[in-house]
């Protein structure tokens, strides 16, 4: 079996995931602090010219992500996220092809397609 195409696909997918994740983190402005105002249970800030509103739970996750970027660096966070998502997508596709996705009450395959 020629593994060259598989290697090329994996490398291109990894780069695409890296670029997408880095763009999302940049759009979320996680490398800089924003001035958040609290209105009830919602938090509001202007990030890159957009009005962003987060719930308390979302704000907590945002703060954790921002702290991780400061501690580990954006490059490491992007690498971890890309690695995790690539592995998840490959695992889902493998399960899909081998009819291992959700089964019904009597363990029959439901024919659910996730990635195709």
Q: For 10-39, write each residue's pLDDT tens digit.
A: 899 989 999 999 999 988 888 777 889 999
Long-range CB contact pairs, 67-72, < 8 A, 24+ = 69/25, 69/30, 69/31
The DSSP output letter for 55 is E
- pTM, two decimals, is 0.74
- pLDDT for the residue numbered 65: 94
* CA pair distance 99, 92, nearest whole angstrom: 10
Query: Per-domain residue ranges for the chain?
Result: 16-88
pLDDT in tens, 70-100: 999 999 999 999 999 999 998 988 988 887 8
């Amino acid at each position: 079996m020629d593994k060259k195409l598989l290697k090329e696909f994996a490398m291109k997918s990894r780069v695409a995931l890296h670029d997408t994740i880095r763009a999302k983190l940049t759009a979320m402005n996680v490398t800089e602090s924003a001035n958040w105002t609290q209105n009830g249970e919602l938090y509001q800030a202007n990030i890159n010219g957009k009005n962003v509103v987060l719930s308390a739970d979302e704000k907590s996750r945002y703060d954790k992500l921002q702290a991780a970027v400061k501690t580990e660096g954006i490059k490491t966070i992007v690498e971890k996220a890309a690695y995790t998502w690539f592995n998840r997508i490959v695992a889902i596709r493998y399960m899909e092809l081998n009819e291992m996705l959700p089964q019904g009450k009597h363990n029959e395959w439901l024919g659910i397609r996730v990635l195709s």
